[in-house]
Structure 1
């Protein structure tokens, strides 16, 4: 019981320590490694009292401890390569445990065996056989077996040496794991006839101190056939290939040429022994055409560089070959596209949305890193929108300019995100934004003023014109209704004269117009849309009634009581150029259609009379002779200027009378000589003038009394010098328009002292006033005064 308690107490007091020592391999037997007692701070006396127990773990024949002195020493010579045969191991250890009692202390002892250059390089095969054609090119390479050295670090193989030869040399290659290789290089063309076999010694040298070497024999047999080997354009090719290149894509097409003929020139391509299996798995070499293509997906992050050696061999009985080195550099690409995510998108929107309204929220991202993962979002510059960054990789699409649906009804907004890689990658997404119509446009007429010409005598209900307006808005904002703005003319509403189709703006006449009664109309038409609130605009319409030649001329002088024949008497002694008669015709059409010309339709003697085509005056062209008939028949036609022309005729029968009749009627223009009158004749003339004067006064008084009854016409005030219709157009001298039903014809009786005015009634139906004669016609003061008041 007591022993158990003491053992437990000893275990509790025990302490474990780890002691590390390093010794080189190949130390002599009995060599002291270290003094444990000294390292533990114990003297020999204390060590003997406390006792030491040693347990060697796994390597009992190499290490031991003197229990009395505490010295660690080597029992047997140590071979590191035997203990640690793997060259990949970075360290090699021997371990043992030691225990000291009273109190118990435990020690873990590690002894590291360091490498020394105790092994020489050696070749796996002591003799290497090479068959080389005599036609092998200088510089051609031949693979040699490498030497192995179990030592590590600098003590392993570091170089190769070739025995002296004028034909061959070696070139050292270093593998990825640091292993050294030697290629046999042909320095000078071989000639089998001179030397069929070349014996060479290849020496491998390590890097230890002192150095160790190993040798191998190289037997080169010179072949005397196919003396031209395939050769590449270059000895070394460097090719860049992008990662993620499609499988099957061409990397390079190698081309080796052989100057031989037939099968000796057929080249077959293959990888050399120095091409790793991984490289061969990634790239496929076409043995027939030398194309190297991608076999598996290439990833830059896995491996950035591939090296290979390609051999081109011909198909001769003793194939010749040439090789080239190919370095494939994998180029990193920006192989992750940026992404766009539309978080919200408002469509459609009203066209009157205010500026800075948020339309959409967009987020962007890219799985790449660095510049390849930095992205920029943009939209085309020609749009009335802009992007506003709200937070990291979040953007707001806002309205930057006023919108107008009538100009652009919808927008295809393309969001484009681009990273900053080289080359940059981008992605885009297009959203369609529709605009809702707002009633913001008034109806528009093509013209601001319409002038419409309507021929008189039009049919009621006839289409005058289409006054359609245009509204660029949509739906109810575009539906137009047309109105005639009410306006009264002479107590008559416009809607009684005209009508407009409220749907299409077609304007119609509701009555037949007469130019002689109505000349023009001026009013407004309004177009109103159906929006809320409605918008409207109006246009001015000017209707002009166009005259038609629908009134024939009316002959008002000479006056005819019945029929169309007028009988006149004329002194036979009338002089040349004397006024015989004056035909006056009136036309109620417009100026163009009322322009009248006069012509003889029939004349008994064309050499006796002349007719003025503009004023209708008939004058004598010569004096009457005794041969001229006593009765002359003249037919005069008055024709207007319309299309077609309308006319009226009058027949005048002239009878010539002797001088007595001429003196009595006082119708001649031949001046009377005072010296041929006797006193009696003078008295007769004075008496006749007095009677005529009294008669004229009576007529004038009667006319004045009648003029006081009707109200004077406002449309046509009296005028002394012209005939005026209701449109104020000049007709002819010596006539005024009257509102009563009489025509007055003025017959002129020319005398020495003046002219007489004779009133003759005509049938009712005319609307003309007869004006007085102008003062310049030679009337006496009395007759002039009377004529100036002639108005009924």
Structure 2
């Protein structure tokens, strides 16, 4: 217990120093191991005479060599508590005394306090045996009361928690002997209570349990396996005292007559048995037979002859290898029987091979004759054919047969037959002989070349180099030799005004398809043709495959400017909307549309997606106009005032989204007039030069849109909505079918960042649904996905990476 004097000022500090100098500054606490985090240990600040308010200013800290994180001090209340798991066995092992030495350091002035925290043991460790299984080997000849030592258990705890008691599972043969020496060292062992018999119980499985005296008690167990060692106390014995064997004459040398099997209840060398003929066996038995000493097999040494001797009596001994050895005996009575010892003979003549696969049924392939030197039933021979094949044997005369065709042949299924002719006599047991006949089937040209699939889809970028390889067709012919030699050719047809052979060619041997000239997506989007494959048989056979070559678009066309189709109405102009919108009233407000630049791109998809940009004016002056990024509409950004120049010259850059992008420029001239005036139109839209290699765009005059344009837009919109409704109704009500133009390919509609409709002027792939004229495609751009291009079906030959493409077919009649 620690006493501390609390007083203000220097008296308290002086008193604390005196107490420490006198040796009374040592503070001791105790804590149980495995205490939970936050467990109270002691009021260390109070016991050391330190004020709570000065713990932080004086840099109060706790140090412990190697154990700094086990205990911690709460600087708010000065309480020492458990910070992390404390394992007494890990800290001190089996030492009875276990403590943690802490150093408490404070500054201003510097003070060092020593604190001892005793860690008390709890029963948290069960007894442990070092071996998972203890093996004891005991001879069955050992006498009762024999002692066999065992290895005890250990407990990592100390004190009463480590005191162990032992218990053995119930056994009528063994008991447990436990002795404690003067130094508290416990020795345990097995005591043999009853004589062992290995032949009765070869192994004894016991369970040894160790229990400590802690609270609660903990236990540990180990398996004790007792193996009983054998002694030679059993003689070998046979299942029978006499064996009778019947064998036929003329058995070959080394033929097994009988295999004797004696058993010995002992084990090891005491149970190893050796076989031999008894010394009283006549010498002629040794001349005709021998016995294997390890397996007990009696085998022949020469041919047996029934007419010479038909009965043998053989006495056999079985001896073990124990000390002393013990033996068992039996008698083998061997009777020799007469046999059918002549096999039939087979002769093949007049082979007619190979046989054509279109041979007629009943065609004779070979003549077979058989014979047997035996007489009676032993000389009567029958023939059979294996396996079950399109052939059969026909008996033509006694012991004569014909091999004839029984079913139609197909060389592509089986090109060669391995036949086995078996001749068997009527002896008992019967003897047989076999002869092999190999029948080769000759090929005829009865299989046409076949393609893996009837149609292939090929994707080729436009502007390809002449002679480039675009695809390889391959057909397989199941026939052989020249009947399987395949050559390829184009099925000629007209493509517009030109022959197919002016576009593509196919190599006759390899089947490689080449594009003979650069393809233009704007001229030809789909080139569909057939390739023929023919073999070299007589007559030749062939088949066709269809190739659909889709020409993929590249950005090879610059945007082209278009003239305005209709004038736009000018608000506030005299004449009630009939005036042209080229003059711009200074009274218009911000956001008023004054003109629109229209352009188209001959490409498709992403390459035809146009954007408009207003180029900065000369001198850096800020223009009161802006152009819509995707519609080309020019509108005011603010109200016009007198400071704005009466003539505005705007330069609009039109750019597509291809790689690389191509551009065109348009110059728009606007005249600013006072409100109420209706001067003569003077503005013009002039085409500028195209950038990135594009040609010059067409000039377009900027005019106002009148009421006719509004009517036309409404009519087109109504037609579009009606077409969408009809298309949806047809798709939902009728299953997909092929129309008059064959299987239709879906028109590609790709998404973009623009929510407007873009109508392509170029002719797209024809899509037919039922009867009716071809339709032009409407390309819809959705703002949810980036634009991309997908055409037709993908296969294993070509691939496009289109993760966000949607196939939509929006059509309206031309």
Q: TM-score, normalised by structure 1?
A: 0.46
Q: Which is greater in Rg?
A: 1
